[in-house]
Amino acid sequence: MLFHGLEGSSSSHYARALMHAVRLRGWRGVVPHWRGCSGEPNRLPRAYHSGDHEEAGWVVSAIAARAGPAAVFAVGVSLGGSALLNWLGRAGDDAAKTLCAAAAVSAPLSLRVGGEAIARGFNRVYTWNFLRTMRRKAYVKARQFPGLIDVARIRRCRTLWDFDDAVTAPLHGFAGADDYWDRGSSLGWLHGIRVPTLLLNAKNDPFLPYDELPAPLVMSEAVQLELTEHGGHVGFLQGPLPGDPLWLPGHLLQFFEQHLSTATARCSPPKSSRPTTYAASSVAA
């Protein structure tokens, strides 16, 4: 299963590339949508965020139950990687009862570092692109639940900190953007991960400066940090421009296949009375 990034979906380039590679191997794949990212507004007074570990855990359990006795693997990209790592670290040994292995790609391990980096220089282009759709969804949420969000503050949002302080925090029970960035970061949970997990980052990722990457002491032995010289933020294209997007899914599936051979009953999900086959589709979360 793949947890997509901020304002992504099952149509994101990395999701389509991974599901294509999964299908070629004869595996089953699923891309669950974070709330509000399926093309339909979420009906509850909440959305999604980088520290949404409870949501990630629920989705893993729900999909694993449908997978029958098959080995189950999970990938999280960017925000999705942050939420997945949050759950893996908090769940500890319990996560190993469901997943055989996991991977986080370009995850913003520190929301504060990532939020400050994306607010500087050329990176502000990414901020404006995110805010374009995030503000639109926030206005819909404000109309759904009058008084829940300050519409005037939404209009004034110019950075991710502004948006998280005005929208993300009040929607999800945080005291403000600083509280959310501190409590929602996955960096402090890497030591609790017990599932074999690949942490894949590029040294030139604009959202996570190289000197801010975690030291081995803050990670458990189950975490394998792999750094590439290039790749930017969820780029990892190979060859001449525009680049081949299949390197990343191939690399991820190779990592999972290494652990497939050692899969045991401890990582087999509960049996389902009616196993479901998933192709390159989506499941509403």
Examine the residue annotation and report whether 94 is marked as an active-site residue of this protein: no
Handedness of CA 267, 272, 277, 280 (dihedral sign): negative
pLDDT of the residue at 141: 94
pLDDT of the residue at 197: 98
Q: What is the arithmetic mean of pLDDT over 104-108?
A: 95
Q: What is the arithmetic mean of pLDDT over 181-206?
A: 95
**Residue 210: pLDDT above 90?**
no
Q: Among 205, 251, 259, 268, which one carries the catalytic annotation?
A: 205
**Residue 122: pLDDT above 70?**
yes
**Residue 154: pLDDT above 90?**
yes
Q: Among 233, 259, 268, 282, which one carries the catalytic annotation?
A: 233
9-31 pLDDT per residue, tens: 999 999 999 999 999 999 999 99
Examine the residue annotation and report whether 172 is marked as an active-site residue of this protein: no
- Mean pLDDT over the full length of the chain: 88
Q: Which domains does the chain have, with CATH numbers?
A: 2-110+187-284 (3.40.50.1820), 120-184 (no CATH)
| Residue pair 14/200 in contact by the 8 Å Cβ criterion | no
Q: What is the arithmetic mean of pLDDT over 250-271?
A: 73
Q: Give 188's contacts (C-beta < 8 A, 6+ positions apart).
A: 89, 218
Q: Among 10, 50, 78, 186, which one carries the catalytic annotation?
A: 78
Examine the residue annotation and report whether 191 is marked as an active-site residue of this protein: no
